[in-house]
Amino acid sequence: MAEGSRGGSLAFGQVVIGPPGSGKTTYCQAMRDFLGRLGRSVAVVNLDPANEALPWPCALDIGELVTLPDVMASLGLGPNGGLLYCMEYLAANADWLRERLQGLRGHYLLFDCPGQVELYTHHEALKNIFAQLATWNFRLAAVHLVDSHYCTDPGKFISVLCTSLSTMLHVELPHVNVLSKMDLIEQYGKLAFNLDYYTEVLDLSYLVDHLASDPFFRNFRRLNEKLVEVIEDYSLVSFVPLNVQDKQSMRQVMQAVDKANGYSFGDRELQSLEALMSAAVGADFHFSSTLAVQEKYVQSQDKAVEEEVMDL
């Protein structure tokens, strides 16, 4: 373990963020298991005070400090206000967090964060907590999960791009945007463009033109053009597709995050990774690249068209 500039050993990890229902807890469980098979000592930290029924044991739970139901009951706040208060309370009690994290030195950490979007776009509490972690020699990358079903709706996809960009600028951490639940994408409907158009965020003028075909969005063409200009001017947003059930997909996300936070694994972990990936050959859903997902998606669409023709 390398020595940090402040005298303590460096610790690496991920802060897993994203809107409700994007699969953050499922991702933490899957990534913990995947990294554990490679030989990493992984610990999950639950920073979501509303997450009361964790499907797996966590090494550290914010519920030991504060819970959302208690805050709502004692202060008369709603879910949103209560969650903001919990994060502000955690930031004000950073010493509690630091003391608990001391016992997890030597572990690779996965921070399961709340799903309230405001916490990542303009509220300061979580941003300050992440900044504190950096001063304690934690080298973290933000993994921002977005449900892949937004790709099927051009208007929602533009909204997701704006949210992702705002999050990247506000959180101020190395960032990996992830399209989650890719194994379900064929159930969401037909995509207007190939999948790589969405993951690489290619020329968005085509998306504006596609939106203009809808009578409702036609009235907001100028607004959409300006939003697209902002996204393209920054040129920061792209996505890594993820299917947590596929080892190759998990490997791609892991490598993207390791590059972002500076983690470098040794020869033993590399050997474990090679052994794990060799066992994945022949899987029903081989996710070696975005193209593999696209091919599966197109085949599904072609089959649906054939069935419709046969019905006629």
The band of 306, judged by pLDDT with boundaries at 50, 70 and 90, is low
If one counts the domains in the chain, the total is 1
- Between the alpha carbon of residue 306 and those of residues 22, 183, 184, 301, 309, the distances in Å are 32, 22, 20, 9, 5
- Asked whether the predicted pLDDT for residue 297 surpasses 70, the reply is no
Structural domain includes residue 212: no
Percent of the chain topping pLDDT 90: 61
Structural domain includes residue 5: no
Q: What is the crossing angle of helices 94-102 and 79-92, to 10°?
A: 70
Structural domain includes residue 289: no
State the pLDDT at residue 286. Answer: 39
The band of 68, judged by pLDDT with boundaries at 50, 70 and 90, is very high
Average pLDDT, integer, range 288-305: 55
Structural domain includes residue 79: yes
Task: Map tokens 């809808």 to a residue.
Answer: 214
190-228 pLDDT, tens digit each: 888 888 888 998 889 988 988 888 888 888 889 989 999
What residue numbers bound the domain in which 161 lies? 11-201+237-266
246-295 pLDDT, tens digit each: 999 999 999 999 999 999 765 567 777 777 766 654 434 434 445 555 55
Any alpha helices (H) in the chain, and if so which ranges?
24-37, 68-75, 79-92, 94-102, 118-121, 125-135, 154-171, 195-199, 205-212, 215-218, 221-234, 247-261, 267-279, 290-311
Distance of CA 191 to the CA centre of its chain: 21
Structural domain includes residue 40: yes
State the pLDDT at residue 275. Answer: 73
**Mean pLDDT computed over every residue of the chain:** 85
State the pLDDT at residue 312. Answer: 55
Judged by DSSP in three states, 164 sits in: helix
pLDDT greater at residue 265 or residue 29: 29
Average pLDDT, integer, range 90-117: 94
Structural domain includes residue 171: yes
Are 148 and 178 a contacting pair, CB within 8 Å? no
State the pLDDT at residue 303. Answer: 61
- Asked whether the predicted pLDDT for residue 129 surpasses 60, the reply is yes
State the pLDDT at residue 284. Answer: 41
Residues 6+ apart with CB under 8 A from 306: none
> Which CATH number fits the domain that encloses residue 102?
3.40.50.300
Structure tokens at 43: 């610990």
Q: How many CA atoms lie within 13 A of 187 on its CB side?
A: 5
